[in-house]
Structure 1
Amino acid sequence: MTPPSVLTFQRTYLPGHLGGGPVRSIANMVESLGDELRFRIVTSDRDLGATIPYSGIPSDRWSTVGKAAVRYLPQGIRSLAVMARLINRGDYDCIYLNSFFSPRFSILPLLIRRLSSPGKRVVIAPRGEFSSAALSLKASKKRAFLTASRLSKLHQGVTWHASSEYEAEDIRRVLGPSARDIRIAAPMPMSIPDSAPDADAAQPGSPLRIVFLARVVPMKNLLFALEVLAQVQVPVSFTIYGPHEDEDYWALCSAAIARLPANISVSIRGELPQERVAEVLRSFDLFFLPTLGENFGHSIAEALGAGLRVLISDRTMWRNLEREGVGHDLPLDAPEAFIQAIEDEAKLSWRAGQAARSRDYLSRKLNLAQLRTDTMALFSA
């Protein structure tokens, strides 16, 4: 029996990585469910923000990448004809879109589907685009498109994929009663380790080792982290991993780094290859991500899987961390709470068994068997 076919549209995909969480979400889904679902992924022929295509990857032909067939489309009008042909052919069971606002990889496929294959099911994963913080960026353009969507009924009858109940609430708040079919399925992690060794212990009296791992863009809120650290009294070694996607924002962060007091040292490391994430994270004491909002937060899950304590905002699905003994989730309008949390963490020094606590919390939060069931349900009528 032929597995159900899911025609997926995604702005960037492997080997690209600058797209962050959505790339990992789709790659992990394919790896986990690729034997039960037939994934065909249509994506760009270059990484996010890149000016040249991937080297050695054929353009506009199907390539096997893991358990999926992937078609890398070039820039320009030619890709429109390819998309139209793929959608018109109708040899798939469901269209899966990984954005609400993407002109090329969400709006365009929806328009083609309306004209040629209106009966085909569509599942849309907004990937955090409906959070208040995300909607505040380029707000006028987003408001205009939301109005056009409502008037044209472009999204009528689609299934919405929310990563958590928090994201489901965002979808209801923004779309109202038109979002009738919302299904919740958290993204699958790459893996959850069976055991998590304690991180390398710091020397007594040495600075608290804090790591930031995310794209350097306003949504990830690195500037807030630096402003918090400027008020911290204890010694801290702060390491920043992540691509500088927004140069204007990075300029603000660089200026904040230059103003930090002598007790805060900063290392800027750039991008961290995915295969080294777990190994590198284990050399730190605390993961710090005061994000403006996450529909999931892959780097948070990776930090917990590596055995770290985490310090994050309360705008993610990772909640009640202090009660669980794995860190803090705090409101962004209370920076003094973040300052206090860091100073408290420094006093804890290293506690044996922390890795097991973090990993156990991650395992309870992400039940892999349930995640598989929830994800398969996305694609059933």
Structure 2
Amino acid sequence: MLIFALIALTVIGLLTFWLHRRLVAAPRWSTRWRYAGSALLVVLTALAVLAIAGGLRWGTADDTRPVAWLALTWLVVAMYLLLVLAAAQLVALVVWLVTPRERRPGRLRSFNRATAVVALVAALGTTAYGVVEAAEPELTRTTHTSAALPAAFDGTTVALVTDLHAGVVHGADFAQRVVDRVNAATPDLVILSGDVVDAPFERHRAEIAPLADLDAPLGVFAVTGNHEMYTGSTAEWLAEWERLGITVLANSSQVLTVGGESIRLAGVHDREGTGAFAPEPERALAGTEDGFTLYLAHQPLMATDSADRGVDLQLSGHTHGGQVWPGELIVPLQQPMVEGYAVVDGVPVITSRGAGSWGPPVRVAAPPEIPVITLRRG
């Protein structure tokens, strides 16, 4: 872990130095602007590192949330600055090659100033768009048809809430917004498919209090995601979910009955879990082969562990749809799908882009969603 931290800090330091060279040094701004730009880069990067490491601990979570919001949002700005300025460097090479030697210093200074301004405008504009997009998760509707679905469950609606990431950036107000939108859809069943929280329990338990208001006649159920495993408070969080009226499926299943007919709802711990929280798909899916089974697993990749076990539909999240472009190009390196519907090792899987966001409260080309799935017998 120490080696990983040192490598990460080294990479962040080098990237910050490169940004300083392209935005501050190469354009040769006045001394006052160079000092201001240098200080701003250092402060924002230091705050971002502190936020990622969980070092923003003064006062309450509400006290540190604006600072965490700014620091983590800066990471997206920095990423887009890197992309634009890296592309500009290729153009700068052409400018250098075609410009007579005696004119190169002046022309490159003008070019560097222009590209610094363009990069700032593009990065800030794209990130601002992403902030607005991330703030309002929308209901998206889809249908899943299965011949195994009992007639009594034909037309049942399932609200899939994933990746809320309540904690450092997303507070109780965001959770309440999600709850209000879910309840407005009047689903028969609500599923929380992992990464509900993203922070230590004692400091951030109030952030999920609104989840107690989720209302569905067939119940509200949840499984863990990888970030529940990272909090260091997994057991405390699961106990809190139960206290709020959410049934935790911890490598277990439950029968849901309507009009004398039943389906099985099964859930497994995330694949990042260990010890008491290690995933046990064979235990979760024991006895589910004969009827219709909804399977809750945070990562779509976990469908590979449930192949040939009678799963009729797996509900997942984790990918965030890439969250920030070009993230969707990276997700397939780890997961078999990015979002929507796919069949993974013979298992039908619906993967949500998620309601919240991890780290920066920003989404670009991957809007947040709360899928409402209508089950149909066909």
TM bin, normalised by shorter chain, reads 0.3 to 0.5
Q: Which protein shows a greater Rg?
A: 2
- Taking structure 1 as the reference length, the TM-score comes to 0.33
